[in-house]
């Protein structure tokens, strides 16, 4: 089939993943283009497009305190605030594409600013800042039975802890993630009007104070292989509730992350891998 390239721009990208959470990563620094939400939906299709969980867009920063600006788009074309696995992939992308030679990179994002540190060539630590337990960050509803930062939803029978890592999370402690009705409960919570920007739902099984298993149902996406901010949010809830220690291994379907947090007044750190899959180009 003939591709009409007239008036189209050739845009280079990288396909990357963090624990199976996969991304299309594009830099708009040496390239110059705009991309619509419809085009993102088209590209995210795993049968007819590139296929990815999120598109990550890297831009120049207008603030000299930051090296780059970092934006995240879900596969439905909506821009969201944050992606922890994506942040590690952005760091690796910048090094592989010779856009920086720094081992410590400062990124500005839609809501929070983050710092990336290279532990090794593919193991990256991200300063995710301090978790935000203010309910006003996540919901404006006053119809909750509120106990600290926890709420009861679904006929007041399900205790859900709320926290923001720059994006909103609901954390539910379960006996076994294997048998947890992740999709059913998440879709009920997702439809609640009390979360105007939607919410990610995390199902946490505690093995001991330093090890948890986690499944995450991401808003507008469904269950994913891994969610970095979900791992951060879940551990933060466990630490505040004093059921987890300050260093926790999080086992996700796609692999493990190390989450470290000393508590209120301190930033939370996430450490894990980032992987490059292939290079490609498209015409926009």
91 vs 149, more confident? 91
pLDDT above 80: residue 20: yes
pLDDT-derived band at 4, boundaries 50, 70, 90 = low
Give the CATH superfamily of 135-266: Diaminopimelate Epimerase; Chain A, domain 1 (3.10.310.10)
What is residue 154's predicted lDDT score, i.e. its pLDDT?
Answer: 57
118 vs 92, 112, 254, 267, 278, CA distance in Å?
9, 20, 21, 17, 21
**10-128+273-283 and 135-266 in the same fold:** yes
Domain ranges of the chain: 10-128+273-283, 135-266
What is residue 103's predicted lDDT score, i.e. its pLDDT?
Answer: 94
Which one is the CATH code of 10-128+273-283: 3.40.980.10, 3.20.20.70, 3.10.310.10, 3.50.50.60?
Answer: 3.10.310.10
Q: Is 232 an active-site residue?
A: no
Mean pLDDT of 251-266: 96
What is residue 172's predicted lDDT score, i.e. its pLDDT?
Answer: 93
Average pLDDT of the chain, as a whole number:
89
Name the active-site residue from 89, 170, 227, 232.
Answer: 227
Whether 51 contacts 23, CB under 8 Å: no
State the Cα angle at 260 between 173 and 248, rounded to 5°: 45
Q: Is 83 an active-site residue?
A: yes
State pLDDT tens for residues 113-160. Answer: 899 999 998 899 999 999 998 877 676 555 444 444 555 665 656 778
CB atoms within 10 A of CB 249: 16
pLDDT above 90: residue 188: no
Whether 114 contacts 87, CB under 8 Å: yes
State the Cα angle at 24 between 69 and 284, rounded to 5°: 90
Distance CA 284, CA 279 (A): 16
pLDDT above 90: residue 71: yes
What is residue 221's predicted lDDT score, i.e. its pLDDT?
Answer: 85
Name the active-site residue from 83, 89, 160, 170.
Answer: 83
């Amino acid at each position: 089939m003939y591709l009409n390239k007239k008036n189209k721009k050739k845009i280079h990208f990288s396909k990357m993943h963090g624990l199976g959470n996969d991304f299309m990563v594009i830099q708009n620094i040496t390239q110059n283009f705009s991309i619509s939400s419809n085009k993102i939906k088209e590209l995210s299709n795993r049968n007819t497009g590139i296929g990815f969980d999120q598109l990550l867009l890297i831009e120049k920063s207008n603030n000299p305190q930051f090296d780059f600006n970092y934006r995240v788009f879900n596969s439905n074309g909506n821009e969201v605030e944050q992606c922890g696995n994506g942040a590690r992939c952005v760091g690796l992308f910048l090094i592989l594409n010779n856009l920086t030679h720094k081992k410590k990179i400062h990124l500005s994002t839609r809501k929070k600013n983050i710092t990336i540190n290279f532990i090794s060539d593919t193991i990256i630590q991200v300063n995710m800042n301090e978790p935000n337990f203010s309910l006003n960050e996540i919901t404006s509803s006053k119809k909750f039975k509120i106990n600290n930062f926890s709420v009861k939803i679904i006929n007041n029978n399900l205790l859900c802890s709320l926290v923001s890592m720059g994006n909103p999370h609901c954390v539910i402690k379960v006996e076994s993630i294997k048998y947890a009705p992740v999709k059913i409960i998440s879709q009920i919570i997702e439809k609640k009007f009390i979360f105007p920007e939607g919410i990610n739902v995390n199902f946490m099984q505690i093995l001991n104070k330093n090890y948890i298993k986690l499944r995450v149902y991401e808003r507008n996406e469904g269950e994913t292989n891994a969610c970095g901010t979900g791992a951060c949010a879940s551990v933060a809830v466990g630490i505040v509730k004093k059921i987890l220690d300050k260093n926790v291994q999080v086992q996700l379907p796609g692999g493990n992350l190390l989450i470290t947090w000393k508590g209120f007044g301190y930033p939370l750190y996430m450490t894990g891998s980032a992987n490059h899959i292939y290079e490609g180009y498209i015409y926009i």
